C-alpha cells in the first residue's frame, strides 16, 4: 500500500477536477519564441507532466505591456491562442487538467525584453530597484509610467480578455498571479502604490484593483474556474508594504465571498508571516500550499491541516513523472539549475522518467 494515500486522492476544486492532489506549480522557463508563442517544446514539456492532478502554467502575459521577462509566452492574440491549444490538447489527451496563470509584470521588466511598442506601466511612477535578465545581460529597470484611471479599466479588460482567450485555447481554468512584485502586488502594497484616486491611499482603495480583476476574470466562465496565487510579505522585485498582514487579511476576507476555485499560498517563513495560518484564518475556500514540500510532509498537511492540495515546483522540473515516483517510492532526479532559463530542450524536456 502506498504511504502517501492523501496526496494521491482525487479532488474537486470548484469546476476543476483533479486526479490527485499533486499540483505542478507555475514556473517561468523562458522558452517562448520572439513573438511570445509556445512551441513543440512546450507541448512536450506539459504533456510529460500531465499526470499531475493539475498543471498551472508558467506566467502568461495578457498584453504586450504586461511582459517583463525575455522568452515568456503571451495569450493576447489569435496565434498565441492556437499555439496554447496544442498544449492543452496534449495534456487532456493524457487525462490531465491545466490552468493558465495570467501574469502582468507591471513595473518589472526591461524594454529589451518587450515589443518595441510596449510601455512599462504601474500604479505609480516608482522604479523597481532590482535588475532583470535580458539577452544583453542584467539591466536596471526603467521608471514606469503611472497608469491613468481610464487605463486601469483597460488593463482590467485585458485580464478579462486573456481569460476568455485562455478558455478559447482549451484551458480548464485560470490563475491570477498576485505575488512576486508584479502588477496586482504593486497595487496592494504601500511602497509601490502612492496614488490618490480610487485605486490608492486607503486600504480599501489598494484592494480595489485585485478585486476588480478577479471579478472580471470570473465573469467569463464563473469564479469556480478562477484561482489566485499570493505570498504575503514576499519582498521579491523590491516590493515593500507597511503591513502585509493587514493588507492580506482584508483581501482574503473580501475574496472569500467570491467562491473562487482555490487560493494558492506560498509559505515564506523568512518574510516573518505564517502565510498558511493567515490564509486559513481569513479565506473560506480550498487552499493549495506551496514551497519546498517533500511527499511525506505534503501528505501530512493534507491529512491534518485542512489543505486541499500541494504544489511542487523544482521537483516537477526534474521529474516529469513526479506522481508516479511518489506512488512507487521511486528516486527523484536531481535538478540542473544551470538550465532553468536557457533556450532549447536541455533541462526542459530531456529529464528521464522511471
pLDDT at res. 271? 87
pLDDT at res. 305? 82
Helix (H) or strand (E) holding 187, with range, is: helix 183-188
Find out whether 208 and 255 touch, Cβ atoms under 8 Å: no
Residue 165, φ and ψ in degrees, nearest 5: -65, -40
List, in sequence order, every residue forming a beta bridge with 146; answer none if it has no partner.
Answer: 122
Fold annotation for 11-339 = TIM Barrel (3.20.20)
Domain residue limits, the chain:
11-339
Find out whether 212 and 199 touch, Cβ atoms under 8 Å: no
Q: Which residues are designated catalytic?
A: 182
Helix (H) or strand (E) holding 176, with range, is: strand 173-177
Q: How far is CA 120 from the centre of its chain?
A: 20
Find out whether 70 and 134 touch, Cβ atoms under 8 Å: yes
Residues near 146 by Cβ (< 8 Å), separated by ≥ 6? Answer: 121, 122, 123, 124, 125, 195
Mean pLDDT (10-residue bins), the chain, 354 residues? 85 98 98 97 98 98 98 98 98 98 98 97 98 97 98 98 99 98 98 98 98 98 98 97 98 98 96 95 98 96 93 98 96 97 97 96
List, in sequence order, every residue forming a beta bridge with 290; answer none if it has no partner.
Answer: 266, 311
Greatest Cα-to-Cα distance within the chain, rounded to the nearest angstrom:
60
Helix (H) or strand (E) holding 275, with range, is: helix 275-282
pLDDT at res. 1? 46
pLDDT at res. 270? 87
Find out whether 101 and 179 touch, Cβ atoms under 8 Å: no
pLDDT at res. 2? 65
Its pTM stands at 0.98
Amino acid at each position: 500500500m502506498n504511504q502517501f494515500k492523501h496526496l494521491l486522492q482525487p479532488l474537486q476544486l470548484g469546476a476543476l477536477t483533479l486526479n490527485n492532489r499533486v499540483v505542478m506549480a507555475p514556473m517561468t522557463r523562458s522558452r517562448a519564441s520572439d513573438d511570445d508563442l509556445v512551441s513543440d517544446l512546450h507541448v512536450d514539456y506539459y504533456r510529460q507532466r500531465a499526470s499531475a492532478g493539475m498543471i498551472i502554467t508558467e506566467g502568461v502575459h495578457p498584453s504586450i505591456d504586461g511582459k517583463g521577462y525575455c522568452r515568456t509566452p503571451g495569450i493576447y492574440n489569435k496565434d498565441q491562442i492556437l499555439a496554447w491549444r496544442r498544449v492543452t490538447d496534449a495534456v487532456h489527451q493524457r487525462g490531465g487538467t491545466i490552468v493558465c496563470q495570467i501574469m502582468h509584470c507591471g513595473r518589472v521588466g526591461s524594454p529589451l525584453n518587450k515589443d518595441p511598442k510596449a510601455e512599462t506601466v504601474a500604479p505609480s511612477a516608482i522604479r523597481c530597484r532590482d535588475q532583470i535578465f535580458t539577452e544583453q545581460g542584467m539591466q536596471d529597470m526603467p521608471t514606469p509610467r503611472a497608469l491613468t484611471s481610464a487605463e486601469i479599466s483597460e488593463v482590467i479588460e485585458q485580464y478579462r480578455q486573456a481569460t476568455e482567450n485562455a478558455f478559447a485555447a482549451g484551458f480548464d481554468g485560470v490563475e491570477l498571479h498576485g505575488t512576486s512584485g508584479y502588477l496586482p502586488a504593486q497595487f496592494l502594497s504601500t511602497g509601490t502604490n502612492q496614488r490618490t484616486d480610487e485605486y490608492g491611499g486607503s486600504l480599501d482603495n489598494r484592494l480595489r484593483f485585485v478585486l476588480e480583476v478577479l471579478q472580471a476574470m470570473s465573469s467569463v466562465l464563473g469564479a469556480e474556474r478562477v484561482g489566485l496565487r499570493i505570498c504575503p510579505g514576499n519582498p521579491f522585485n523590491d516590493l515593500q508594504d507597511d503591513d502585509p498582514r493587514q493588507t492580506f487579511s482584508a483581501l482574503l476576507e473580501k475574496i472569500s465571498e467570491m467562491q473562487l476555485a482555490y487560493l494558492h499560498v506560498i509559505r515564506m517563513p523568512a518574510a516573518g508571516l505564517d502565510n498558511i495560518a493567515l490564509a486559513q484564518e481569513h479565506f473560506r475556500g480550498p487552499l493549495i500550499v506551496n514551497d519546498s514540500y517533500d511527499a511525506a510532509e505534503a501528505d501530512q498537511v493534507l491529512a491534518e491541516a485542512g489543505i486541499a492540495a500541494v504544489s511542487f515546483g523544482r521537483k516537477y522540473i526534474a521529474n516529469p513523472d513526479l506522481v508516479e515516483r511518489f506512488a512507487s517510492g521511486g528516486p527523484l532526479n536531481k535538478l540542473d539549475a544551470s538550465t532553468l532559463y536557457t533556450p532549447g530542450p536541455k533541462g526542459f524536456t530531456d529529464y528521464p522518467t522511471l
